[in-house]
Amino acid sequence: MQTKMLLQTRHLSLQFGGLKAVDDVSIDVPQGQIRGLIGPNGAGKTTLINSISGAIQCTSGEIVFDGVNIEKMAPHLISALGMSRSFQHVQIFGDRSVRDNVLIGMHRQLKIGLLAQLLGTPHARRLELEAKEKADILLRRFELLEDAERPASLLPYGMLKRLDLARALAAKPKLLLLDEPTSGMSEEEALTAIKMLKSIVREEGMTLLVIEHNMRVMMQLADFISVLHLGRVITQGTPEQVTQDPIAIEAYLGEEVADA
């Protein structure tokens, strides 16, 4: 059986004035794959993700997500098709509880009318209860359940980043775009969080496109890695192939591989 491509970019370019931040990028991401994006600072990784999520419109080229051309679509419409995005800095409501943050992340999935919610109908109450149970399953997986009732702002940084991942997964997106999910974490915290993330992603059959600077984390996480340099994909392959690839080593990996 042929693997379905969930995301394809075709000759995608994005120009800021005279600068081609993304330059003729064509990638195919099969459903269920964890695709890593690496490259030196300024290579165009964040801009590529921004154009896929619709945050910035590409200058030319095509983006096909789950069979639909999305290159001209607004971000909220792309999100409604099942694509979510997390940012380098956590997107958490600090004054809301840890559980509420996951429930807020889940809202795309909740088919509950505002009026029903306000009136507190039995149907609405049942849906809310189910959502809470689902949120708690996620919180347990990220070892955050004991803190479910606490305001999120009280969590230490490593736990806050895990909460941000739980929040992003709560919507059960088909494709999740992650920009440096472990930035600022210690190596140990990062590897633990990645293990939790990966097991849920695999169970749910989700597809990920991840920017990550820590190569040890990337090696644990990705099935396949695309290497960007000056806006172009200069090489790609499995983590093992990429770490041996002279093109990747010269452009980016030199120092990282030496001490990985």
Ligand X SMILES: Nc1ncnc2c1ncn2[C@@H]1O[C@H](COP(=O)(O)OP(=O)(O)OP(=O)(O)O)[C@@H](O)[C@H]1O
> Which spans in the chain are helix H?
45-53, 75-80, 98-105, 114-119, 122-141, 157-170, 187-204, 215-221, 239-244, 246-248, 254-258
Pick between residue 29 and residue 144 the one whose CB is nearest to ligand X: 29
Q: How far is the CB of 94 from ligand X (least distance, A)?
A: 25
Q: How far is the CB of 43 from ligand X (least distance, A)?
A: 4
Pick between residue 44 and residue 181 the one whose CB is nearest to ligand X: 44
Pick between residue 44 and residue 173 the one whose CB is nearest to ligand X: 44
Task: Provide the 8-state DSSP code for 253.
Answer: I
Cα-based angle 18, 74, 54 (whole degrees, multiple of 5): 45
Pick between residue 45 and residue 174 the one whose CB is nearest to ligand X: 45
Residue 229 makes contact with ligand X by CB under 6 A = no
Q: How far is the CB of 112 from ligand X (least distance, A)?
A: 37
Q: How far is the CB of 47 from ligand X (least distance, A)?
A: 3
Pick between residue 2 and residue 41 the one whose CB is nearest to ligand X: 41
CA distance 249 to 232: 16
Total count of residues recorded for the chain: 260
Site string for ligand X, 176-215 (x = CB under 6 A): ----------------------------------------
Q: Which of 4, 11, 16, 140 is the binder for ligand X (CB under 6 A)?
A: 16
User: CB under 6 A: which stretch of 15-23, 123-131, 144-152, 189-197 binds ligand X?
Assistant: 15-23
Torsion over CA: 96, 100, 104, 110 (sign):
negative
Q: How far is the CB of 19 from ligand X (least distance, A)?
A: 6
For residue 122, how many other CB atoms are within 10 A of its CB? Answer: 8
Residue 84 makes contact with ligand X by CB under 6 A = no
Q: How far is the CB of 50 from ligand X (least distance, A)?
A: 7
CA distance 23 to 17: 13
Contact 242, 223 (CB under 8 A): no
Task: For the chain, state the CA radius of gyration.
Answer: 19
Please give the residues from 38 up to 57 whose contact with ligand X meets the rule CB under 6 A.
39, 41-47
Pick between residue 42 and residue 151 the one whose CB is nearest to ligand X: 42
Number of residues forming the site for ligand X (CB under 6 A) = 11
Q: How far is the CB of 25 from ligand X (least distance, A)?
A: 11
Pick between residue 16 and residue 93 the one whose CB is nearest to ligand X: 16
Contact 193, 165 (CB under 8 A): yes
Q: How far is the CB of 161 from ligand X (least distance, A)?
A: 17
CA distance 64 to 73: 11
Q: Which residues contact 149 (CB under 8 A, 6 or more apart)?
A: 97, 98, 99
For residue 234, how many other CB atoms are within 10 A of its CB? Answer: 17
* Residues lying near ligand X in the complex (CB under 6 A): 16, 19, 21, 39, 41-47
